[in-house]
C-alpha cells in the first residue's frame, strides 16, 4: 500500500532546511509520494525513515528474471487486479514441458517441435518463452543429459523441474549460466534447494498446497538468501488453483503482504489438450506469471499466446495496424478500394467483412493515430488532406485504374471536400462494417 | 503463517432471471434455465455466492449458413436445412443448455424471409426441443421490427430471450416482449455508457430490469477480445457495487465471432504452420469463450460441439 504525502512527512526531519531543493519538508513529502523526488535528496533523513520509505517504495510483487541475455523472461511487478485500472505489465511466460525419460529420438523430435513454436498471426510473430525439463526419470544422469541437450539445442529459457536436490545439482553443471528457474523446492528440501539456487544465482520456485505453507516456504527460501522466488500453488483442482492465484495477487496488492509478494507459476497437465489450454488460458488471464503446458501443437499454443497478447495490451493506448494499403483476396486493377482508419479493431472488423464478401478489394488503412473513424474525424485526424497523403504514400493510382473511393458511411459529410481534393469519385459506403458484404456485392458491382 | 482475509464484500447482486416457462407457468418448456445471481467476482465463491453456473446456448440458423468452413458444417451436415432437427441435435447430442435461433434469413440481403415463414420455424423448434429459446433478429432495424413482434406473439408465454434492442431501435421489441412475457437483450457495442443508457431507455417503458440481459458485442480471441473482456469486467464490478442499471446478466456471441477469424477458418493448405484445422477452429472458439468467462458472462452463444464440450467441462471444474 502506497504511503500518502502526510505519512511520509511525519518521517522527515521537518526542519524546512531547503537542502533538498524544495521550499518545505511537506512539499518534498508530496513529491516523494508522487514519485517525483528521491529520498536521497534529503541529507538529514533518519535511518528509520529510510527503512520505512524504502520498503514502501519496493513493488508489491517482486520482479523475477528467468534466463539471461536478450531473451530473458521477466515476470511479476504488477500493480493492478483488473487491466482497465491501469494495465498488466509483464506478459506471462509460456513454457512447454519436455520429460527426460523419452527415447533419444522422441526427445530430439519434441525439442525440435518446441523450438519451432513461433507463429505469425496478423503480421506479428508470437512465441513461447521457456522449455521446462522434467525429471520424470528421477535419475540424475538422465536429467543432466536432458538439461545439457536443451541448453545446447534451444534458444528458449529453461525451467528445471526435479524434487531431488542432487539431480538438480547434476543438471545445473551443464546449464547454470542460462539462469534456469529451479522448480522442485517443497517443505522437505527447501533449504537445500535454496542453497543451490543461491550458489548458482538462479531463481527458484516453492511449492505448497496451502497459502499458509506457501508463505512459510517463501520465508524459508528468503532466509536462505534467495531473492527471486516464484510461487507454485500446486494441486490439480482447477477451482482451487484459480482461487489461490487470485488470493495471492490480492494479498500482495491490497494487503501489502510481502511474504507472498512474488509472481506465480502453474503447471497445467491434462491429457486432453483442449482442457489443458482452457485451464492454462484461464490461469494466464487471472494472474499466473508463468504457465507450463504439455501441449506443443501450434493449434493449441497459438490461442494461448494470443490470449496473452490480448490481455497484456495497454488499455489506455489504442492499438494500431501499420498504415498502408492492404489487399484482401485476389485483387485486380478494377477491384474496389475503400479506406478506414488504422485503429486495429476498426481495421480488422472491416477486413473481416471484406473477406467474407468474397469480393477482392483494397483497404487503405489511413494513419489516424490508432483512433476509430468518428473519433478521428471529430479530432481532425481524418480529413481530406490526411486521406490524400495516405493515397499518395500507398501509390494507390498505380494499383487501380478506376478513380472511385469508397468511404465509411459515418463520415459521409466528408464526401464533397474529398472529391474536390482528390479528384476522385466518392462513394459513401455503409455506416457499419457489417453492411460491407452486401454493399460490395450489390452497389459496387452495379 | 497466518494469511490475511482477502474476500471482498460486495453490496450488489447480478439479477437472477429464469428463461423458459413450463406448463404450470403458461409455456410448453420441459426445462427452464436460471442465470445470474452472482454476489462475487466470477468463480470466487470464498467471498460470496458465485450465482448460477454460466450456460451455453448453441446457435441454430433459420437458413443454412453460407460462409461456414467445413470443420463447422460437418457435425451438422444432416440438419443444416432443418432448424428444428438442428436444434434437437444440439440439445440431445451436444448438450446445449439453450438454443439460440439466429434469424439470418429474414435480412433483406440474405433471403428476406417473411414473418409467416419465420413463425413456422420458431414453432417447429419449440415443438422439437424442451429447452428455453433465444431468438435473435437480423439486426436490420425495419425488418426486425416487422418480424420480431409476430414471433413474440407466436411464442407468447414461453419466456424466450429476444434480441436485440439498441438505443436507436428499442421501442417495438420492448413493447412486444413486455406484452408477451419474454426477456430482452440490450445491445451497446463496446460502450459501457451506452449500455447503461439502453437499459434506462428500456426500463422507462416499464420493462422490468430483472428481465434484461446485456450484450456488448463480442470480440473474438485476437480480434478485440480484450475490449469485451474489460467492458464486461467493469460491468460486473458495477453490478457488485450496487449499480442497478448495470446489474443485468451478460450474454456473449462467441461462436459467430470466433468462426469468422482466419485462425479458425483457414484451410490447412493456406496456413500449414498453424496446425490441423479440425482442432484449430474448435480450440479458437473454446479459448475465446473460456477467456470471456473470467470477465463475468452468464450465457455464451457457441457453435462447434467440441468447443461446447470443452467449455462446459471447464465451467464444471472451475465452478
- pLDDT at res. A3: 75
pLDDT(A47) > 90: no
- pLDDT at res. B282: 98
Is A368 known to sit in a ligand binding site? no
Interatomic CA distance for residues A260 and A206, integer angstroms: 11
Residues 178-197 of B with CB under 8 A from A: 190
pLDDT(B319) > 90: yes
Determine, yes or no, domain membership for A318: no
Residue A299 in contact with partner chain B when CB distance is under 8 A: yes
User: What percentage of chain B carries pLDDT values higher than 70?
Assistant: 100
B318/A238 CB distance under 8 A:
yes
Determine, yes or no, domain membership for A317: no
Interatomic CA distance for residues A31 and A25, integer angstroms: 10
B275 contacts in chain A (CB < 8 Å): 297-300, 302
Of A191-200, A316-325, B53-62, B270-279, least confident by mean pLDDT is A316-325
pLDDT(A73) > 60: yes
Q: Are residues A94 and A157 in the same domain?
A: yes
Q: Is residue A84 within 8 Å of A312, Cβ to Cβ?
A: no
pLDDT(A433) > 90: no
Q: Are residues A280 and A200 in the same domain?
A: yes
Q: Is residue B60 within 8 Å of B125, Cβ to Cβ?
A: yes
Please, which residues have CB within 8 angstroms of residue A18's CB and are 6 or more apart in sequence?
none
Residue of B nearest to A314 (CA): B226
Give the CA angle between residues A187, A193, A198 to the nearest 5°: 135
Determine, yes or no, domain membership for A140: yes
Is A372 known to sit in a ligand binding site? yes
CA distances in angstroms from A23 to A14, A20, A28, A39, listed in the order given: 11, 8, 8, 15
Q: Are residues A205 and A275 in the same domain?
A: yes
- pLDDT at res. B189: 84
Determine, yes or no, domain membership for A319: no
- pLDDT at res. B117: 96
Q: Are residues A305 and A346 in the same domain?
A: no
Residue A310 in contact with partner chain B when CB distance is under 8 A: yes
- pLDDT at res. A2: 63
Taking all residues of chain B, what is their mean pLDDT, rounded to a whole number? 96
- pLDDT at res. A121: 80
Determine, yes or no, domain membership for A440: yes
Any idea what DSSP says for residue B53?
Answer: P
- pLDDT at res. A317: 76
Render pLDDT for A83-140 as a digit per residue (tens, 0 to 9).
Answer: 999 999 999 999 999 999 999 999 999 999 999 999 988 767 899 999 999 999 999 9
- Last residue of one domain, picked from the residues A311, A342, A369: A311
Give the CA angle between residues B310, B312, A94 to the nearest 5°: 45
Q: Are residues A230 and A353 in the same domain?
A: no
Give the CA angle between residues B287, B291, B292 to the nearest 5°: 120
Q: To the nearest whole angstrom, how far is the Cα of B286 from the nearest Cα of chain A?
A: 7
Render pLDDT for A358-372 as a digit per residue (tens, 0 to 9).
Answer: 899 999 999 998 888
Question: Which of A394, A395, A396, A416 is closest to A407 using CA atoms?
Answer: A416
Q: Is residue A251 within 8 Å of A257, Cβ to Cβ?
A: yes
Domain count, chain A: 3
3-state SS of chain A is CCCCHHHHHHHCCCCCCCCCCCCCHHHHHHHHHCCCCCHHHCCCCCHHHHHHHHHHHCCCCCCEEECCCCCCEEECCCCCCCHHHCCCCCCCEEEEEEECCCCHHHHHHHHHHHHCCEEEECCEEEECCEEEEECCCCCHHHHHHHHHHHHHHCCCEEEEECCCHHHHHHHHCCCHHHCCEEEEECCCCHHHHHHHHHHHCCCEEEECCCHHHHHHHHHHHHHCCCCCEEEECCCCCHHHHHHHHHHHHHHHHHCCCHHHCCCEEEEECCCCHHHHHHHHHHHHHCCCCEEEECCCCHHHHHHHHHHHHHHCCCCCCCCECCCCEEEECCCCCCCCEEEEECEHHHHHHHHHHHHHHCCCEEEEEECCCCCCHHHHHHCCCCCHHHHHHHHHHCCHHHCCCCCEEEECHHHHHHHHHHHHHHCCEEEECCCCHHHHHHHHHHHHCC
Question: Which of B213, B220, B271, B269 is closest to B14 using CA atoms?
Answer: B213
Interatomic CA distance for residues A291 and A311, integer angstroms: 15
Is A42 known to sit in a ligand binding site? yes
Half-sphere exposure of A378 (CA within 13 A, CB side): 5
Nearest to A299 among B260, B280, B319 (CB): B280
Render pLDDT for A287-322 as a digit per residue (tens, 0 to 9).
Answer: 999 999 999 999 999 999 999 999 999 988 777 888
Residue B225 in contact with partner chain A when CB distance is under 8 A: yes
Residue A324 in contact with partner chain B when CB distance is under 8 A: no
Give the CA angle between residues A176, A179, A181 to the nearest 5°: 110
Q: Is residue B168 within 8 Å of B201, Cβ to Cβ?
A: no
- pLDDT at res. A446: 61
- pLDDT at res. A49: 82
Structure-block grid coordinates of residue A138: 528421477
Please, which residues have CB within 8 angstroms of residue A398's CB and are 6 or more apart in sequence?
none
Residue A249 lies in domain: 64-311
Interface test with B, best of A127, A278, A441, A444 (most B CBs within 10 A): A278
- Last residue of one domain, picked from the residues A36, A57, A78: A57
> At A214, is the pLDDT very low, low, confident or very high (cuts 50, 70, 90)?
very high
Residue of A nearest to B235 (CA): A84
Determine, yes or no, domain membership for A380: yes
The torsion defined by the Cα of A199, A203, A208 and A214, in degrees rounded to 10, comes to 90
Q: Are residues A393 and A290 in the same domain?
A: no
Beta-bridge partner residues of B56:
B300
User: Quick one: B24 exposed, middle or buried, by C-beta within 10 A (0-12, 13-18, 19+)?
Assistant: exposed
- Last residue of one domain, picked from the residues A14, A35, A57: A57
- pLDDT at res. A38: 81
CATH code of the domain in which A151 resides: 3.20.20.20
Beta-bridge partner residues of A183:
A161
pTM: 0.87
Determine, yes or no, domain membership for A164: yes
Residue A84 in contact with partner chain B when CB distance is under 8 A: yes
CB atoms within 10 A of CB A79: 15
Q: Are residues A69 and A53 in the same domain?
A: no
B1/A259 CB distance under 8 A:
yes
- pLDDT at res. A123: 65
Nearest to B274 among A238, A255, A302 (CB): A302
Residues 22-81 of A with CB under 8 A from B: none
Interface test with A, best of B234, B259, B274 (most A CBs within 10 A): B274
Residue B238 in contact with partner chain A when CB distance is under 8 A: no
Taking all residues of chain A, what is their mean pLDDT, rounded to a whole number? 92
> At A1, is the pLDDT very low, low, confident or very high (cuts 50, 70, 90)?
very low
CATH code of the domain in which A45 resides: 1.10.15.40
The domain ranges of chain B are: 17-318
Interatomic CA distance for residues A211 and B46, integer angstroms: 14
- pLDDT at res. A71: 93
Question: Which of A324, A321, A308 is closest to A396 using CA atoms?
Answer: A324
B294/A282 CB distance under 8 A:
yes
Please, which residues have CB within 8 angstroms of residue A236's CB and are 6 or more apart in sequence?
A269
Q: Are residues A355 and A380 in the same domain?
A: yes
Render pLDDT for B270-298 as a digit per residue (tens, 0 to 9).
Answer: 888 999 999 999 999 999 999 999 999 99
Q: Are residues A81 and A199 in the same domain?
A: yes
Residue A307 in contact with partner chain B when CB distance is under 8 A: yes
Structure-block grid coordinates of residue A203: 531463481
- pLDDT at res. B277: 95
Is A20 known to sit in a ligand binding site? yes
Mean per-residue pLDDT for A156-162? 98
Nearest to A299 among B223, B227, B275 (CB): B275
Structure-block grid coordinates of residue A179: 539462469
- pLDDT at res. A273: 97
Residues 49-68 of B with CB under 8 A from A: 67
Of A40-54, A257-271, A411-425, least confident by mean pLDDT is A40-54
Residue with cell 531547503: A18
Question: Which of A275, A165, A315, A413 is closest to B227 using CA atoms?
Answer: A315
**From 1.10.3720.10, 3.20.20.20, 3.30.450.20, 3.40.30.10, which CATH number describes the B17-318 domain?**
3.20.20.20
A274/B109 CB distance under 8 A:
no
A306/B1 CB distance under 8 A:
no
A257 contacts in chain B (CB < 8 Å): 3-4
Amino acid at each position: 500500500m502506497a504511503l500518502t504525502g502526510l505519512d511520509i512527512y511525519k518521517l522527515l526531519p521537518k526542519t524546512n532546511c531547503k537542502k533538498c531543493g524544495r521550499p518545505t519538508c511537506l512539499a518534498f513529502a508530496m513529491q516523494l509520494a508522487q514519485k517525483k523526488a528521491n529520498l536521497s535528496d534529503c541529507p538529514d533523513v533518519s535511518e528509520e525513515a529510510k527503512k520505512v520509505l524504502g520498503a514502501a517504495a519496493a513493488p508489491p510483487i517482486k520482479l523475477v528474471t528467468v534466463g539471461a541475455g536478450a531473451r530473458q523472461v521477466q515476470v511479476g511487478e504488477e500493480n493492478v487486479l483488473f487491466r482497465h485500472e491501469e494495465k498488466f505489465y509483464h506478459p506471462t511466460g509460456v513454457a512447454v514441458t519436455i520429460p527426460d525419460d523419452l527415447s533419444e529420438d522422441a526427445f530430439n523430435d519434441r525439442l525440435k517441435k518446441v523450438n519451432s513454436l513461433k507463429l505469425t498471426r496478423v503480421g506479428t510473430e508470437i512465441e513461447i518463452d521457456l522449455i521446462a525439463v522434467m525429471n520424470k526419470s528421477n535419475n540424475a544422469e538422465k536429467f543432466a543429459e536432458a538439461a545439457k541437450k536443451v541448453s545446447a539445442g534451444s534458444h528458449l529459457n529453461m525451467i528445471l523441474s526435479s524434487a531431488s536436490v542432487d539431480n538438480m545439482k547434476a543438471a545445473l553443471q551443464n546449464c547454470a549460466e542460462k539462469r534456469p528457474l529451479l522448480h522442485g523446492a517443497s517443505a522437505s528440501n527447501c533449504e537445500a534447494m535454496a542453497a543451490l539456487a543461491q550458489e548458482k544465482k538462479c531463481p527458484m520456485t516453492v511449492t505448497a498446497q496451502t497459502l499458509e505453507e506457501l508463505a512459510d516456504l517463501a520465508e524459508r527460501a528468503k532466509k536462505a538468501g534467495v531473492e527471486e522466488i516464484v510461487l507454485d500453488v500446486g494441486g490439480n483442482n482447477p477451482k482451487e488453483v484459480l482461487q489461490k492465484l487470485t488470493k495471492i495477487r490480492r494479498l500482495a496488492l491490497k494487503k501489502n503482504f510481502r511474504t507472498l509478494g512474488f509472481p506465480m507459476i502453474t503447471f497445467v497437465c491434462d491429457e486432453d489438450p483442449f482442457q489443458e489450454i482452457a485451464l492454462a488460458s484461464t490461469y494466464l488471464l487471472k494472474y499466473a506469471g508463468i504457465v507450463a503446458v504439455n501441449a506443443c501443437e501450434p493449434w493449441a499454443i497459438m490461442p494461448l499466446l494470443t490470449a496473452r497478447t490480448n490481455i497484456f495490451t495497454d488499455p489506455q493506448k489504442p492499438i494500431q495496424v501499420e498504415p498502408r494499403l492492404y489487399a484482401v483476396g485476389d485483387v485486380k486493377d478494377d477491384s474496389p478500394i475503400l479506406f478506414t482508419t488504422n485503429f486495429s479493431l476498426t481495421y480488422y472488423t472491416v477486413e473481416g467483412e471484406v473477406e467474407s464478401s468474397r469480393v477482392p478489394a483494397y483497404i487503405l488503412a489511413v494513419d489516424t493515430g490508432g483512433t476509430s473513424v468518428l473519433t478521428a474525424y471529430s479530432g481532425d485526424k481524418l480529413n481530406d488532406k490526411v486521406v490524400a497523403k495516405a493515397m499518395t504514400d500507398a501509390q494507390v493510382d498505380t494499383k487501380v485504374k478506376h478513380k472511385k473511393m469508397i468511404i465509411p458511411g459515418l463520415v459521409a459529410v466528408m464526401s464533397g471536400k474529398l472529391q474536390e481534393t482528390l479528384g476522385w469519385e466518392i462513394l459513401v459506403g455503409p455506416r457499419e462494417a457489417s453492411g460491407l458484404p452486401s454493399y460490395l456485392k450489390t452497389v459496387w458491382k452495379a | 503463517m497466518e494469511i490475511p482475509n482477502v474476500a471482498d464484500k460486495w453490496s450488489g447482486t447480478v439479477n437472477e432471471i429464469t428463461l423458459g416457462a413450463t406448463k404450470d407457468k403458461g409455456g410448453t418448456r420441459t426445462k427452464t434455465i436460471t442465470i445470474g445471481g452472482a454476489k462475487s467476482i466470477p468463480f470466487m465463491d470464498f467471498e460470496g455466492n458465485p450465482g448460477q453456473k454460466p450456460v451455453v446456448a448453441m446457435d441454430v440458423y433459420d437458413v443454412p449458413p453460407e460462409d461456414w468452413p467445413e470443420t463447422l458444417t460437418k457435425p451438422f451436415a444432416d440438419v443444416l436445412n432443418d432448424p428444428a432437427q438442428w436444434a434437437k441435435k444440439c440439445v440431445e447430442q451436444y448438450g446445449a443448455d439453450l438454443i439460440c435461433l439466429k434469424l439470418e434469413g429474414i435480412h433483406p440481403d440474405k433471403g428476406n424471409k417473411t414473418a409467416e415463414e419465420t413463425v413456422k420455424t420458431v414453432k417447429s423448434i419449440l415443438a422439437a426441443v424442451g429447452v428455453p429459446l433465444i431468438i435473435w433478429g437480423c439486426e436490420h432495424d425495419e425488418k426486425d421490427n416487422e418480424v420480431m413482434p409476430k414471433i413474440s406473439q407466436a411464442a407468447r408465454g414461453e419466456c424466450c430471450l429476444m434480441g436485440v434492442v439498441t438505443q436507436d431501435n428499442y421501442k417495438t421489441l420492448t413493447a412486444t416482449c413486455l406484452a408477451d412475457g419474454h426477456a430482452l437483450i440490450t445491445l451497446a457495442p463496446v460502450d459501457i455508457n451506452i449500455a447503461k443508457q439502453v437499459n434506462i431507455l428500456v426500463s422507462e417503458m416499464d420493462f422490468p430490469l430483472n428481465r434484461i440481459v446485456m450484450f456488448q458485442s463480442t470480440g473474438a480471441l485476437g480480434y478485440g477480445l480484450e475490449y469485451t473482456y474489460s467492458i464486461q469486467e467493469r460491468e460486473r464490478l458495477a453490478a457488485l457495487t450496487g449499480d442497478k442499471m448495470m446489474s443485468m446478466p451478460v450474454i456473449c456471441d462467441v461462436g459467430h465471432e470466433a468462426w469468422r477469424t482466419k485462425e479458425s477458418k483457414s484451410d490447412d493448405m493456406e496456413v500449414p504452420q498453424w496446425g490441423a484445422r479440425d482442432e484449430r477452429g474448435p480450440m479458437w472458439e473454446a479459448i475465446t469463450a473460456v477467456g470471456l468467462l473470467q470477465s463475468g458472462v452468464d450465457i455464451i452463444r457457441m457453435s462447434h460441439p467440441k468447443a461446447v464440450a470443452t467449455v462446459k467441462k471447464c465451467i464444471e471444474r472451475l465452478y
